[in-house]
A = this chain, B = another copy of it.
Amino acid sequence: MFTQLGVIGCGLMGGSFALALKKAGLVKRVVGYSKSPSTTETAKKMGVIDVAAESALLAVSGSDIVLISVPVSATEPTLKAIRHLVTPNTLFMDVGSTKSDVVEAARRVLGEKINCFVPAHPIAGKESGGIQNADATLYQGRQVILTPLPETLPALVQRATDAWSAMGTQVLKMTPENHDAAFAAVSHLPHLLAFAYYLSVARQPAGRDFLSLAGPGFRDFTRIAASEPAVWRDILMANRAEVLKQSRAFRKALDRLEMLMVSGNASSLEEQIRLVSEDRSQWQMGQLTVPRSQQK
């Protein structure tokens, strides 16, 4: 289906995409570029890429599919570096966790050529990033959100859909704005809360002792607090308006629960927890959930 994949940024996301596309038999050759030559070298040794390119532009040259898998803040300089080779013959995608800022950057840099760019956000990852964790099955059974623009070439949206589908990834389409609102709620705010929570415990005088007593609940609740700092700096900065909006909603819910605790209203507190507990018990990843109260 594709002759050559160009991967710009050979990390967990880019490397896993290359492996998955190869595994699906959809690409003949993978050319990779990373800012750090040792990363590119590792990617080559691991068989993730076939050829190491010396620049982002050289990774695009001759490719009919290009994945830009760099931290969100590096998207704009990357697009600048490659814009001369952006043509409708090639499908350009990114993997950024925020989309409005990426689309704005693409519009600034690419102008009319933005029609060649299909913004993408695969809902997959691991705390441990880096090429050494690349995994051909990372995207299998997961979702990818595409946020095509009115001007995006339909043929490229179709090729993007086909490529992700062939890897076993469910393709959803949304506007960049709806995407960012949704992910502020279900991903970005939880990360912010996990960072803040862990900081608040670790900084207490008895914090170390407390942490040594923590159990499986703590372990799972704080797993995302170990996420990559540069990636999350970019996400929280890029999508801050939506994240702060979600944080305000969260604080209101927290206020309400604490009010019930302070006023000694145990039965209302239990009722609230029961609502959450039943709803969360029925929630399943990648499925539309219907609360028990709305079921027939």
Chain A contact residues, CB within 8 Å of chain B: 73, 123-125, 127, 142-143, 145, 172, 181-183, 185-187, 189-204, 206-230, 232-234, 236-237, 240, 243-244, 246-247, 249-254, 256-258, 261-262, 264, 266-267, 269-277, 279-281, 283, 285-291
Alpha-carbon gap, A253 to B73, bound state (A): 25
Chain B's nearest CB lies how many Å from the CB of A278? 8
State whether A272 touches B237 (Cβ < 8 A): no
CB-CB under 8 A from A274, the residues of chain B are 229
- The answer, among B198, B215, B273, for a CB contact under 8 Å with A233, is B273
A142 to B219, CA, bound (A): 13
In the complex, 5 of the A-B residue pairs with CB atoms within 8 angstroms, ordered by the A residue number, are: A182-B210, A200-B246, A202-B275, A236-B261, A240-B262
B221 with A277: CB separation less than 8 A: no
Which residues of B have CB within 8 Å of A279? 198, 202
Residues of B contacting A201 with CB < 8 Å?
185-186, 246, 249
- In the complex, are the beta carbons of A186 and B215 less than 8 A apart? yes
Quick check: B280 and A225 within 8 Å, CB to CB? yes
A273 nearest in chain B by CB position: B229
Q: A272: which B residues are within 8 A, CB to CB? A: 195, 199
* Complex alpha-carbon distance, A280 and B279, angstroms: 29
Contact of A247 with B252 at beta-carbon distance under 8 Å, contacts A187-B215, A195-B276 already known: no
For residue A19, give the distance in angstroms from its CB to the closest CB of chain B: 19
Residue of B nearest to A126 (CB): B216
B residues near A252, Cβ cutoff 8 Å: 200
Residues in chain B near residue A222, CB distance under 8 A: 190, 280, 283
- Give 10 nearest A-B pairs by CB, closest first: A233-B270, A200-B253, A186-B214, A196-B254, A229-B274, A123-B215, A226-B280, A196-B253, A229-B273, A212-B288
In the docked arrangement, what's the CA distance between A56 and B125, Å? 50
Find chain B residues with CB under 8 A from A277 CB: 225-229
Complex contact B218–A186 (CB within 8 A): yes
B212 with A187: CB separation less than 8 A: no
Q: Are B244 and A262 in contact (CB under 8 A)?
A: yes
Identify the closest chain B residue to A197 (Cβ). Answer: B250
The reply to whether A185 and B210 contact each other, CB–CB distance below 8 Å, is yes
Residues of B within 8 A of A182 (CB): 206, 209-210, 213
In the complex, the answer to whether B203 meets A253 with C-beta atoms within 8 Å is yes
Which residues of the partner chain B approach A192 to less than 8 Å between Cβ atoms?
Answer: 254, 257-258
- List the B side residues contacting A266 at CB < 8 Å: 73, 233-234, 237
